[in-house]
Amino acid sequence: MPFRTSLPAFVIFACAPFVIAGCGAKTPDAAAPAAQAAPSIDERLVSTPYVDRARGFSIHAPAGWQVEDGASLGVHVVMKAREQILSSYGPFLPNMNVVSEPVRGMGLDKFVDYSLVNLKKGFTGFKIVNERYIQTQTHKGRLLEAEFESNGYKLQLIQLFVVHKGTGFVVTGTVPVDNWLQFESLFEATMASFSAL
């Protein structure tokens, strides 16, 4: 019987509301770097993390951003800038979210690969522009950066994938491609603050 999980479709679903709301080379585990000491919390983030004990994670949001329960959008938590930014495509609200789903024994790389198949199907022009491993507060994670098109916008997202005790977590940040350099390091710092509990 083939392995099935709802997570990749859920990951696609989780990204879609923020695209709409915002608009107005594979390395095997064996080659992954060894786990390192947890990074310090970046000064651009709030010092007290958002903690969701029921779902088993915590994350430090960017300072000054709104943090809201994301249940109505199909995600655990939504972090969004307080104001829209201007891009060549129009106004956009920079945002991040966290989702999770059971992965039934999948390792990190299998989880990412399985999710990628569905992300490529779910987004127009989906193209990976960068992949690498990072150390979060508690786990080795895999970062994926990709570009895609939605509602007349060319967008760039960054996703952190972490697997812990049978649960796959995905943290996603999205902005238009022409605003990417302004937000890239903030997104990465936020993702590095992620902890699986």
Return the domain boundaries, the chain: 7-23+45-196
| DSSP code at position 61 | P
Whether 162 and 144 have beta carbons less than 8 Å apart is answered as: no
> Considering the entire predicted model, what is its pTM?
0.84
CATH superfamily of 7-23+45-196: Mog1/PsbP, alpha/beta/alpha sandwich (3.40.1000.10)
Distance CA 7, CA 23 (A): 25
Which pLDDT score is estimated for 37? 60
Whether 82 and 171 have beta carbons less than 8 Å apart is answered as: no
User: In degrees to the nearest 10, what's the CA dihedral of 152, 113, 140, 99?
Assistant: 50
For residue 69, what is the enclosing H or E element? strand 66-69
Along the chain (197 residues), what's the average pLDDT of each consecutive run of 10 residues? 36 46 42 56 93 96 95 92 96 97 93 92 94 95 96 96 96 97 97 96
Which pLDDT score is estimated for 157? 96
Distance CA 131, CA 119 (A): 15
Which pLDDT score is estimated for 38? 63
